[in-house]
Structure 1
């Protein structure tokens, strides 16, 4: 019998109260950095984001999202036999955030590891979990995207500090007799490392290099709109589907203009695009599962719907996954 995988539960978590553009602009003004709600909304579509409090880490956000996903799937930690966490902001250098999450939820004994593909991380992680389930290496996987990007931001650089937020999203992916994940398409091109990176590391007990986020916004935008269309079409082709079959496009929530451009290229109305960037900002690897969970819990994304997930991030990485909910 052919073995497939299917999402059976989704969950998400956002820390604290939303920080509006006006509030952020006020805080930045105190540091001599000028911006405004109008400036941010016009360029990004972002109206608010969430930041963690001191002492809160990616694994803490992952716990909340994971528990909600397991509750939705009707299972508990003892049922999970694979944990994959997509994150660029791990709790520690090592062990993995997945192992820390495993300990916190009490799912000890199963395989657990992190995936680092920045904003494409959840698409990568979901594809890996799907492959492991199809191969018989796992039957019930917890796949999480969790980020605390606020700790990587240079709050003197208004071009980047207004873009990102913190959060986590999760899904339970189970073995199934019927196809849930229909196809995926993953890519990376390391020659673009420099356009989006945090060029720092730890050596000898000290931070070496620059531990704050650097981004060439124009270069990222130009590359993103092209590769996202290509990945979407390649994934649809693998599944024998066309743009007309898509019920929902659930993209990485980086910038409303990138999302609008991708929708136009795929001939999809914005009414078929799940948009949460306005309230969450760019939460990197957490953004796709956050948006997916929002769509499910708001009654938009329903059982049987065909959803295309796609992301692009530092590395430069990109990819897409087509799934039947």
Structure 2
């Protein structure tokens, strides 16, 4: 793909609210999961923006986004005033309107800048990166903040607060043990003399047009009259088709990886790191051969995967950027690496991916 202007990745940052909540901590609040199910999830800790015991909010979605953004800006050596584009992805905003991105703008003290919001889960941050790359490359904007942020715990809280842990439904425990909150950000700049990030390709597709959703966040929308929604046991809840995701997930993953490599003109051997929201989760670690990935490619892929699911849980929008920031911090991603950012979202079996050569120097 031809890029009109140089686009440089200047820095990354992340924010996780509160102290980590271990599986032992969670068991006391919501009851246990069967050992085999817990092992399949592979989540050991997660962070919630709520007080797990009382449900009070310690921070908001947009404040988490601001915190991650400030850390990314500090690493990049960029002041907030230099930002002229903010692209935010979230599926859990504080309000339907105004957008969460406009609140990030307010928190950063910016009277005016462009704000774009993507309503998505795991795939959203990579979609947001693509938007920023394009608008920096064509000269529409100069300095961009791309943020993935998610506040899932407030939606989960009604399923266990004030209840005997033994009375919490098993399907609710599955989501409670799975999900976490957080935010992550990337700073990019177009133009200038610094060595830019060569973008090899981008892919994006929804493969669930003829399938039932793998995950839904129900309530608070316009699917039913509000008086009917208020009669539900819970105004909002997350439903997850775990068996459907386990069965169809590998096919989505293999399709996404193949299409991105083809679009980018890369072979798997050319790639140094594959950043995923949940690369070693059970439903992404089995049935790959049936989905069309050879044993050799599977083994090669495992050595390149960068993810941090065990430490943060399934976080939706910030997941890929949280893993990216962690991979940079611990040296799994290094200057000059060819990096694949690949996200799979169960909601409607969506995938998106971007392949870039990481800058030779990162501030």
- TM (normalized to structure 1)? 0.91
1:108 to 107, 111, 120: 111
The aligned residue for residue 201 of structure 2 is 183
Aligned residues of 1:40 and 1:162 also touching (Cα < 8 A): no
Aligned residues of 1:120 and 1:311 also touching (Cα < 8 A): yes
Aligned residues of 1:243 and 1:266 also touching (Cα < 8 A): no
1:242 corresponds to 2:263: no
Post-superposition Cα deviations, 1:74-106, rounded to whole Å, max 9, x if no partner, equal 101111111011100101111000000010012
Between the aligned partners of 1:223 and 1:102, the Cα distance in structure 2 is 38
Aligned residues of 1:7 and 1:172 also touching (Cα < 8 A): yes
Per the alignment, do residues 111 and 240 of structure 1 end up closer, same or farther by CA in structure 2, a change over 3 Å counting? same
The aligned residue for residue 355 of structure 2 is 322
Between the aligned partners of 1:84 and 1:40, the Cα distance in structure 2 is 36
The aligned residue for residue 90 of structure 2 is 87
Between the aligned partners of 1:11 and 1:206, the Cα distance in structure 2 is 42
Between the aligned partners of 2:356 and 2:302, the Cα distance in structure 1 is 19
Per the alignment, do residues 7 and 206 of structure 1 end up closer, same or farther by CA in structure 2, a change over 3 Å counting? farther
Per the alignment, do residues 255 and 241 of structure 1 end up closer, same or farther by CA in structure 2, a change over 3 Å counting? closer
Aligned-pair distance for 1:239?
Answer: 1.8
Aligned residues of 2:200 and 2:265 also touching (Cα < 8 A): no
The aligned residue for residue 198 of structure 1 is 217
1:282 corresponds to 2:314: yes
* Higher Rg of the two aligned structures: 2
Matches within 5 A, 1:62-81: 62-81=65-84
Per the alignment, do residues 67 and 206 of structure 1 end up closer, same or farther by CA in structure 2, a change over 3 Å counting? farther
Of 303-312 and 251-260, deviating more is: 251-260
SS in structure 2 opposite 1:114? strand
Aligned residues of 2:23 and 2:45 also touching (Cα < 8 A): yes
Between the aligned partners of 1:192 and 1:4, the Cα distance in structure 2 is 40
Per the alignment, do residues 308 and 207 of structure 1 end up closer, same or farther by CA in structure 2, a change over 3 Å counting? farther
1:9 corresponds to 2:11: yes
The aligned residue for residue 230 of structure 1 is 255
Post-superposition Cα deviations, 1:169-211, rounded to whole Å, max 9, x if no partner, equal 1101221564433211011134445321012125677682651
Between the aligned partners of 2:279 and 2:303, the Cα distance in structure 1 is 18
RMSD (Å), alpha carbons: 2.2
1:43 corresponds to 2:40: yes
Aligned residues of 1:117 and 1:315 also touching (Cα < 8 A): no
Between the aligned partners of 2:326 and 2:177, the Cα distance in structure 1 is 22
Aligned residues of 2:279 and 2:306 also touching (Cα < 8 A): no
1:253 corresponds to 2:278: yes
Q: 5+ residue gaps in structure 2?
A: 51-55, 161-167, 359-363
SS in structure 1 opposite 2:250? helix
Aligned residues of 1:201 and 1:207 also touching (Cα < 8 A): no
The aligned residue for residue 62 of structure 2 is 59
The aligned residue for residue 24 of structure 1 is 26
Aligned residues of 1:200 and 1:207 also touching (Cα < 8 A): no
Aligned residues of 1:21 and 1:40 also touching (Cα < 8 A): no
Count the aligned residue pairs. Answer: 320
Q: 5+ residue gaps in structure 1?
A: none
Aligned residues of 1:147 and 1:284 also touching (Cα < 8 A): yes
The aligned residue for residue 151 of structure 1 is 154
Between the aligned partners of 1:2 and 1:305, the Cα distance in structure 2 is 22
Per the alignment, do residues 146 and 254 of structure 1 end up closer, same or farther by CA in structure 2, a change over 3 Å counting? farther
- TM (normalized to structure 2)? 0.82
Per the alignment, do residues 81 and 324 of structure 1 end up closer, same or farther by CA in structure 2, a change over 3 Å counting? same
SS in structure 2 opposite 1:268? helix
Aligned-pair distance for 1:321?
Answer: 0.9
Aligned residues of 1:182 and 1:239 also touching (Cα < 8 A): yes
